[in-house]
Amino acid sequence: NDAGGRPRFAHPLLRDAVLAGWPQPRREAVHRAAAEAMLRRGDRVEAVARHLLRTPVVGRPWALRVLRDAVTVAVHDGRPDDAVAYLRRALDERLTDDVRQRLLTELGSLEYASADTPAAIARLAEAQHLPADPRNRVRTAVALGTALAGRGEIRTAMEVLRRTEGRLSGHPGLARTVQTATAMLSDEDLATRQEVYRWLSETGRHSPELVGTAGQALLVRYAATAALISAEEAMVRVRDLLAQPTDPLAEPFLLGTAAAVAQWADELDEADRLVERGLAGQHPALLHPMQHAILNTRADIAAARGDLAGLLAADPGRAGGPTNRDAHALMALVHTGRIDEALRYADRFDLHEVPENWELNRYLYARGVLRAATGDPAGALHDFLECGRRQSAREVVSPVVTPWRTAVAECRLALGGGPEALALATEELRLARLWNTPRTVGRALSVLGTATGGRRGLELAEEAVRTLRDAHADTDMELIPALLAQGRQLIAAGERGRARTRLREAAELAERKGALRWLTLAGQALREGGARGSVASHTGAGSLTGSERRIAELAADGRTNTEIAELLHLARRTVETHLTSTYRKLRIRRRTELPAALDRERGRDRPRAQG
């Protein structure tokens, strides 16, 4: 025995063999004694909790405190299964109804995270029937509604939330939060969405205070997707709402919605900050619809910046069907040239078995991208048209969400349908100019240029490239295909020199982004245009794009990234991305090496003096 009288064993196997021979009550007593001794000694909380997992009810406050602390640690470390075990054991203790209600809500939330949806719904339903203060009732109702909607039971989810709202007559702020959750979850079902947003729009128009700041933010998002508002106006409204006081329970809805609008508006740095605020404000052990939504926006931001590696490394989110993050991962596989992997990825989903929701629409678009890349324009056309049909039925008209019209136009062109392609591309440009960001306008101009052809088509292609180049955000993922399209048009027009310049720029950008498919296409087009040698200059100052060279020279002169961003009207992250690429091309590791590296390259480019 040790100094405290507890048995000590030379090896864990010996300990297990001895304890297995003891009667259960004695084993349980040893585990309880060990837990108490370890707690007094200050051992890690999970080490203490693991002993409590093997004991019956302790009936003392310290046991519940240890188990709840262990839940916090397990959730923080990303181990929901361990947290579930601690919570199940905590529920064995003698608890008041309000504490049991909170623990059941946390347990149901974590069981949902562990993909045990039936158990999660049962726990949350049990929690909903226990007495609790209004705020905890709202937390439980939102969690249960989220779990039900995730399983496709959207009508039941709406009923749960409406019933909860009806019990909050003396708490208007909480009632508004439940209304916002109802609107957010209604996105999972077309008919429900139309009904909810009709009410939200009417109420917001006549009495905006009745829908609260988060509800008003959802109306801004709705107006953006319905092509009723410009990006500039949307951001003015969103920033005004963010400056107003908001109930803590409603704040995740406000932040998540504002982040989505900011991402669409190409205010990517601001969207990043809102995402981080939104995630930081989430209770890690409570199921909430904005957790999934905010992570989707984070993926949208990564896609806008062309962070293909980040998209492929991201958790796809909830199980059961293709998510928005699955759509981004599929397109990232296509862009990186991993077509076989992309085909296997797409085969994982039977679209006849998945719920009807907006994420399915995004996935259809992504599968269309894959089919177009594998030489199946007819299959791609089917997917893009189906995506468009579903989007239009949801009154999602703006190309800011999914640019299906330009995708259909490109398929029509590949299949010989020029007039249909021209009409679609023209309509896409009209809608893009309503939102009026360089990304949406430049993308639409590029496809319209291809569909138009001739001298006017070349003018549109040049306008597309100029629009995307001048954007303050990183628009390389739109600029690369725009340069490719312009290069092909210039070749067809006999302007091979200009074509090669554009195609080399496309190749350099594609190489920097890791977009190997576009790099390959640029190489093919360059060879068609009469180029010889390698596709892109991989190293040296000659390989720097115009933007990289301007930024590198300013940095070499001692300017900070923030100063450069302000001077060139760029996002700071864009400056950082360009500098990272510059360091790689110049084969240097730090900023202080820039002046010498640029001087060396200038010396090589300078003509030798004549003797």
> What are the 10-residue block averages of pLDDT along the chain, 611 residues in total?
56 60 79 91 92 93 96 91 95 95 96 89 95 95 93 90 92 92 86 85 86 93 96 98 93 96 96 95 89 94 93 75 91 95 92 79 96 96 96 92 96 93 97 97 98 96 95 93 97 94 93 92 93 61 76 91 88 82 74 83 46 34
Can you list the alpha helix ranges (DSSP code H) found in 415-475? 418-435, 438-452, 454-469
Please state, in angstroms and rounded to a whole number, the distance separating the CA atoms of residues 444 and 409: 10
Q: What is the pLDDT of residue 121?
A: 95
Return the half-sphere exposure (C-beta side, CA atoms, 13 A cut-off) of residue 367.
Answer: 24
431 and 398 Cβ atoms separated by less than 8 Å: yes
Question: What is the residue type of 458?
Answer: L
Please state, in angstroms and rounded to a whole number, the distance separating the CA atoms of residues 164 and 148: 15
Residue 585, φ and ψ in degrees, nearest 5: -70, -35
Q: What is the pLDDT of residue 608?
A: 35
Please state, in angstroms and rounded to a whole number, the distance separating the CA atoms of residues 387 and 393: 10
The set of residues, in sequence order, having a beta carbon less than 8 Å from that of 251 and lying 6+ positions away, is 214, 281
Domains of the chain, each with CATH number or no CATH: 539-604 (1.10.10.10)
69 and 45 Cβ atoms separated by less than 8 Å: yes
- Cβ neighbours of 208 (radius 10 Å): 13
Q: What is the pLDDT of residue 350?
A: 85
**Joined tokens for residue 42:** 């200050």
**Joined tokens for residue 301:** 């931001």
Burial class (CB in 10 A: 0-12, 13-18, 19+), 454: exposed
Q: What is the pLDDT of residue 78?
A: 87
Q: What is the pLDDT of residue 3?
A: 52
Please state, in angstroms and rounded to a whole number, the distance separating the CA atoms of residues 446 and 443: 5
**Residue whose pair of structure tokens reads 């602390």 in the numeric block:** 69
Please state, in angstroms and rounded to a whole number, the distance separating the CA atoms of residues 468 and 442: 6
**Joined tokens for residue 507:** 């190749």
What is the DSSP code (8-state) at residue 529?
T
Q: Is the pTM of this model over 0.85?
A: no
Question: What is the residue type of 391?
Answer: Q
